[in-house]
Amino acid sequence: MPQRHTFTGRIAGLGTTSGVRLVIGMWETTPFGPFADVMLEEPGGHRILLAPTDQTADFIATTYTFDEVRVVPVTFRRTTAGVTLTAPRLSLTFGVGSISPLGRLLRIVPPSFATNTAWLRAIDPIARLLVPSVRTAGSANAGRREFYGVTRARTIMDAAATWQDRDLGSLAPLWPPVRFGFSSAPSTPQIVDVTTTITSVG
């Protein structure tokens, strides 16, 4: 029987002047309950997943590709200016600004369409042209299909982070694209409201 998993929450993607790029998932509704995870790619290409439980780590690592998986506590909190996230050997704070150009474009699409998998499959070629390195539909590992339905996007204004006792410097574009799956986050640092749908057969 086909299986369908839906994750609703926010994804933040940003780069740093150190070359470390981060994609943070802050999930409100999932098959595993609320949780946060971090996908991190180092300048040399080493890809690391930080996830809070064996169950979430296994699902994410089966869907995407990593060189290292760490099951560790990952917590975040919203502040008046943005978001603060912590995990063992990682600390990240970033500010959230106004609606981004992508966010203004998204206002054209009714929310019911924006998260519909048939719509996301149809607009994928257009999304690739409008936002390089970003896709709305594609193939994941383990025979899975994945769909990203973004309904809102805001600019990340600034960031401060340390990773493994090293200051990562200041905010930078998320470039080159991260290589966890078929799609990267936009190169311009931003946080998006998203519904991610993952389907599989079996």
Give the H/E segment covering residue 120. helix 117-130
| Structure-token match 């994941």, residue found | 140
Radius of gyration (Cα) for the chain, nearest Å?
16
Q: Using one digit for the tens of pLDDT, what is the confidence trace for 131-147?
A: 888 999 999 999 999 99
Q: Using one digit for the tens of pLDDT, what is the confidence trace for 168-183?
A: 999 999 999 999 999 9
Domain containing 171 equals 2-201
Q: Which residue has the higher pLDDT, 118 or 111?
A: 118
Q: Using one digit for the tens of pLDDT, what is the confidence trace for 32-48?
A: 999 999 999 999 999 99
**What 8-state DSSP symbol labels residue 54?**
H
Two tokens at 113? 């369409």
Q: 147 with 117: CB under 8 angstroms?
A: yes
Residue 67's pLDDT band, with cuts at 50, 70 and 90, is very high
Q: 136 with 123: CB under 8 angstroms?
A: yes
CA of residue 37 relative to chain centroid, distance: 9
Q: Give the chain's domain count.
A: 1
Q: Phi and psi dihedrals of 17, rounded to 5?
A: -65, -15
Distance from C-alpha of 28 to C-alpha of 163, rounded to nearest angstrom: 25
Spell out the residues 6+ positions from residue 91 whose beta carbon is closer than 8 angstroms to its own.
85, 161, 162
CA of residue 11 relative to chain centroid, distance: 4
Q: Which letter, b or e, does each residue of 52-84 get, where b requires 16 or more Cβ atoms within 10 Å of its Cβ?
A: bbeebbebbbebbebeebbbbebebeeeeebbe
User: Please, what is the end-to-end C-alpha distance for the chain in angstroms?
Assistant: 6
